[in-house]
DNA sequence: TATGAATGAGTGTTCATTCAT
DNA sequence: CATGAATGAACACTCATTCAT
């Protein structure tokens, strides 16, 4: 997709030694930010080039200076979003050895991401839907397989088995549970940070002691 | 320089007027079924009248014999879907007194629904996204509130508190957990029945004994 | 989902075929009346078969039992309307010998027609526009030439010349004046019976004595 | 039985993107001119965007670069037309003090307008009908009242009473007469400049001396 | 006679994209 | 770099008309 975009390096003589396209980069960045929000709010099809252009303060034609197509914008946003999320998760899980530790860090990281930039979580939720729905995206993104968090989930389950926290046979069950939790936490609490906070606390408690963590009577 | 394309135009043999042995109710039902699948697969905006019409074996104009607009089709599908799901949940939870019992029935019912008609779950997932995304739907469906399952979740938490299965203060936490699970189970396993099966089993185990249900070593 | 939906075949109570005690001629007449009003109110293109059918209490399909096409309805309405108007004018002018007498009867007849059935005047105004505008009507009605009143105007002018009320050379001028008056009285006072009454009185006075019929000072 | 039609599809050689040497204002102006003629000839509903676009040498989509809707085109045309007519009438009546003077100038101005640009008169006649007929226009043009000429008619009658040319009580009668004449002259002589000329001469004569201005015998 | 299911051509409108400037 | 005039294919929807029942 990027293959065709030729970067013609016009030797700007005005600013010596400075990157010639500082403004350009800023515009491009703004475009990406706006696009992330739009895609998150209205989906791929519901987002129009004009919408993005207007909110970024340029015209639709100018978009094609930075991206080769609407699809290209989407892919770029997705690329950046997933890389950012990946780094955050990687850093967060770095020091954790136990499965439970990793897991809790994962949930907290998801929440922190959501707090830092809600548009990101909203985009990712949108992305999961649209990458299956929209033909263009199905074709254009198929390779990328499935998002980052799946990788972490797998890593996490492996750690649990290795450390004896869970039995070997339970791997697939825990894997399913993790998927449910991570996706559920994203999709069920879009723009509801407080709800997400409570949910995470509930999940943590249950994971430790089962649902009756607080029971006044023994579980039937 | 003038490329000339020859198009073989086979004159359509379909006749005007009422086709023989058509059953109005049957056609309408087919339309709804097709629409549910289309909306689930491609979303509201990604679904075109032509798509639905073609798959139902009629023309776009004929749609308007049964529905006043695309929005009307969507609302009808939604109405039927939610009513059906509601009944299924209501029946399933009828005999259950304990929170855990209700909860497990809920998960199993969700799974059973998914098995019986995968298009239904897919539509409902689509619905949740589109009813927030698409302006038409935001306006046209104003605040049917959030679907049925939320009601059941609330009922369930109340039962848990009443029976002492959970402490009173834990209500909101459990509520959050439930939302996470129900939404997660729907969204994370679209068209993955087997995965959902495993996830449910994992959830059940964890709910009873915590994540270390199967641990060979005590939880760190 | 549809798997469970039981199709209760409620025996259709709607009666196909000929309903008892319908009078074909009566229906046809109602159709024409409704059509006249619709065409008058909304014009040829703005009037839909469904509109006419609904207001006449039948379905669009049934229309084609009485008329071969929308154009046919219009032509029928036009035919009847013009014939009716023609008869009224003919009767009214019968006894009048002088041009002025004929003229005044013409104006009064126009007014009387308007009072008796406002839809008629409205249709005729509509007709003049649409018969020039709408391609179908241009082609389908061309032969009919231009309405009745023109004929009377010509007759009237001839009478005036014959009786010496006006000079021979003034024929074309009077002809133009008459056209202006008759058309103006129709188009300028659609649904304004009172206004038309005043206008006619004004016209009559002016025709007798010039515009200064009531002057307190001699005309400059 | 299977007739096969061969269609020679000559690939369109028109290019995308901005055509060379286009002048935005010029195109917009052309669009308005074309639209005025179309609306005048075929009415609001009978005029299609495609018609206007084709005659203006662009595509239907391009129309929306200049106008937000078909209604917007119509309103723009109407606005311009009425303003132009208003100015012409205002200038023409400027120096006239007597009612008769004003009146004659009015008739002559109407005629001059018709000669200068017949499409204008035709549009205005169309406008009067359509603004009452077409729901869109009824709503979209709400009560611009009735056009300019009514204002002038009122002004004229007032002048006549003030100057003693007519009696005070005759005001409403003259008002009605004027309406009849102005509307009649427009509607009865669309595309018949010569007829209109004669009619105006007839009207002028009658206004001075009554219909028998030329009589060889006294009026009965 | 009348119904109502269905067609097919057409309408206004939107939108990603192109390209001269 | 950016604008904005323009395209062309698509879309939801309407409507006169047809015809089995």
Task: Check CB contact of B219 with chain D, cutoff 8 Å.
Answer: no
CA B62 to C1' E15, whole Å: 26
Task: Look at B166 and A219 and tell me if their CB atoms are within 8 Å.
Answer: no
Smallest CA–C1' separation from B53, nucleotide: E6
Separation in Å, CA of B29 to nearest CA in chain C: 8
* Rounded mean pLDDT, C142-169: 77
Which pLDDT does position C150 carry in this prediction? 75
Residue D16 DSSP one-character state: S
Q: Could you tell me the CA-to-CA distances from D51 to C141, D37, D38, D46, D48 in Å, in that order? A: 24, 11, 8, 10, 5
* Rounded mean pLDDT, D207-219: 66
More confident residue, C149 or A49: A49
Give residues 33-72 of chain C lying near strand E (Cβ < 7 A): 58-62, 65-66
Q: Which residue of B has its CA nearest to D8?
A: B6
Smallest CA–C1' separation from B30, nucleotide: E5
Which pLDDT does position A133 carry in this prediction? 93
Q: Could you tell me the CA-to-CA distances from D166 to A12, B146, D125 in Å, in that order? A: 82, 75, 30
Separation in Å, CA of B15 to nearest CA in chain D: 15
- Nucleotides on chain F that have an atom closer than 7 A to a protein CB are 1-21
With distances taken from each CA to the C1' atom of nucleotide F19, the closest residue turns out to be: B17
CA distance A48 to A73: 11
Chains A and C touch (3+ CB pairs under 8 A): no
| Whether pLDDT at B45 is above 50 | yes
Task: Check CB contact of D6 with chain B, cutoff 8 Å.
Answer: yes
Which pLDDT does position C165 carry in this prediction? 85
More confident residue, C9 or C44: C44
| Whether pLDDT at B15 is above 90 | no
| Whether pLDDT at A14 is above 60 | no
Smallest CA–C1' separation from D62, nucleotide: F6
pLDDT in tens, D23-81: 888 999 999 999 999 999 999 999 999 999 999 999 999 999 999 999 999 999 999 99
CA C54 to C1' E10, whole Å: 23
B10 C-beta less than 7 Å away from strand E: no
pTM: predicted TM-score of the whole model, two decimal places? 0.87
CA atoms within 13 A on the CB side of B141: 26
pLDDT in tens, A69-86: 999 999 999 999 988 988
With distances taken from each CA to the C1' atom of nucleotide F15, the closest residue turns out to be: C48
Task: Look at D6 and B10 and tell me if their CB atoms are within 8 Å.
Answer: no
What pLDDT band is residue D18 in, cutting at 50, 70 and 90?
Answer: low
CA distance C212 to D165: 6
Supply angle C-alpha C116, C118, C121, rounded to 5.
110
pLDDT in tens, A158-207: 888 888 888 888 888 888 998 899 899 988 998 899 999 999 999 998 88
Q: D-chain residues within 8 Å CB-CB of C41?
A: 133
Write phi, then psi, for B159 (nearest 5 degrees): -60, -40
Non-local CB neighbours of D202 within 8 Å, separated by 6+ positions = C170, C172, C173, C174, C175, C176, C177, C180
What pLDDT band is residue A93 in, cutting at 50, 70 and 90?
Answer: confident
Task: Look at A46 and B134 and tell me if their CB atoms are within 8 Å.
Answer: yes
Which pLDDT does position B147 carry in this prediction? 65
Which pLDDT does position C74 carry in this prediction? 96
Give residues 30-89 of chain D lying near strand E (Cβ < 7 A): 47-50, 60-61, 63-64, 68-71
Within 52-81 of A, beta carbons closer than 8 Å to B belong to none
pLDDT in tens, D111-144: 999 999 999 999 999 999 999 999 999 887 755 5
Tally of CB atoms within 10 A around D18: 8
CA distance B190 to B194: 10
* Rounded mean pLDDT, C195-213: 87
**Percent of chain D having pLDDT more than 70?**
83
pLDDT in tens, B187-209: 899 889 999 999 999 999 888 87
* Rounded mean pLDDT, B119-140: 91
Which pLDDT does position B97 carry in this prediction? 85
What pLDDT band is residue D3 in, cutting at 50, 70 and 90?
Answer: very low
CA distance A190 to B23: 44
Nearest to A183 by CA among B173, B185, B207: B185
pLDDT in tens, B65-86: 999 999 999 999 999 998 898 8
Closest in D2, D3, D9 to B7, CB measured: D9
Nearest to D51 by CA among D29, D68, D34, D28: D34
Neighbors of chain D by Cβ distance (3+ pairs < 8 Å) = B, C
Element holding D6 (H helix, E strand): strand D5-9
Separation in Å, CA of B69 to nearest CA in chain D: 20
Residue that has been written with the tokens 């909101």 in this structure = B172
Neighbors of chain C by Cβ distance (3+ pairs < 8 Å) = B, D
* Rounded mean pLDDT, D182-198: 92
More confident residue, A213 or C80: C80
What pLDDT band is residue B112 in, cutting at 50, 70 and 90?
Answer: very high
CA distance C78 to C63: 17
Smallest CA–C1' separation from B64, nucleotide: F13
Size of chain A in residues: 220
| Whether pLDDT at C143 is above 60 | no
Q: C-chain residues within 8 Å CB-CB of B25?
A: 7
| Whether pLDDT at A100 is above 90 | no
- Nucleotides on chain E that have an atom closer than 7 A to a protein CB are 1-21
Closest in B176, B190, B211 to A198, CB measured: B176
Look at A169-178, C110-119, C136-145 and tell me which has the smallest mean pLDDT: C136-145
| Whether pLDDT at A24 is above 50 | yes
Task: Look at B7 and D10 and tell me if their CB atoms are within 8 Å.
Answer: no
Which pLDDT does position D219 carry in this prediction? 46
A146 C-beta less than 7 Å away from strand E: no
CA C22 to C1' E3, whole Å: 15
Within 116-175 of B, beta carbons closer than 8 Å to A belong to 125-126, 128-130, 132-134, 163-167, 169-170, 172-175
CB pairs under 8 A between C and D: 214
Closest in C43, C181, C188 to D133, CB measured: C43
DSSP states of chain B as a string? Answer: ----EEEEEPPP---SSPPTT--HHHHHHHHHHHHHHHHHHHHHHH--HHHHHHHHTS-HHHHHHH-SSHHHHHHHHHHHHHHHHHHHHHHHHTT--SHHHHHHHHHHHHHHHHHH-HHHHHHHHHHHHHHHH-HHHHHHTTT--S-HHHHHHHHHHHHHHHHTSS-GGGHHHHHHHHHHHHHHHHHTTTT-HHHHHHHHHHHHHHHHH-TTTT-SS---
Tally of CB atoms within 10 A around B41: 17
């Amino acid at each position: 997709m990027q293959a065709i975009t030729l970067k013609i390096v016009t030797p700007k003589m005005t600013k010596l030694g400075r990157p010639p396209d500082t403004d350009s980069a800023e515009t491009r960045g703004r475009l990406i930010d706006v696009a992330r929000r739009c895609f998150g709010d209205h989906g791929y099809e519901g987002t129009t080039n004009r919408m993005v252009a207007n909110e970024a303060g340029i015209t639709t034609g100018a978009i094609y200076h930075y991206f080769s197509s609407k699809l290209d914008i989407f892919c770029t946003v997705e690329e950046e979003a997933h890389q950012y999320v990946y780094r955050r998760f990687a850093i967060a899980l770095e020091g954790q050895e136990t499965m439970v530790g990793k897991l809790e860090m994962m949930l907290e990281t998801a929440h922190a991401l959501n707090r830092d930039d809600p548009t990101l979580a909203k985009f990712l939720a949108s992305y999961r839907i649209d990458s299956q729905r929209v033909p263009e995206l199905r074709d254009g993104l198929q390779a990328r397989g499935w998002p980052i968090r799946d990788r972490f989930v797998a890593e996490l389950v492996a750690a649990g088995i290795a450390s004896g926290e869970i039995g070997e046979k339970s791997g697939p069950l825990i894997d399913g549970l993790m998927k449910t939790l991570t996706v559920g936490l994203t999709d069920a609490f879009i723009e509801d940070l407080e709800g997400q906070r409570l949910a995470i606390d509930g999940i943590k408690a249950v994971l430790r002691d089962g649902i009756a963590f607080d029971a006044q009577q023994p579980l039937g």
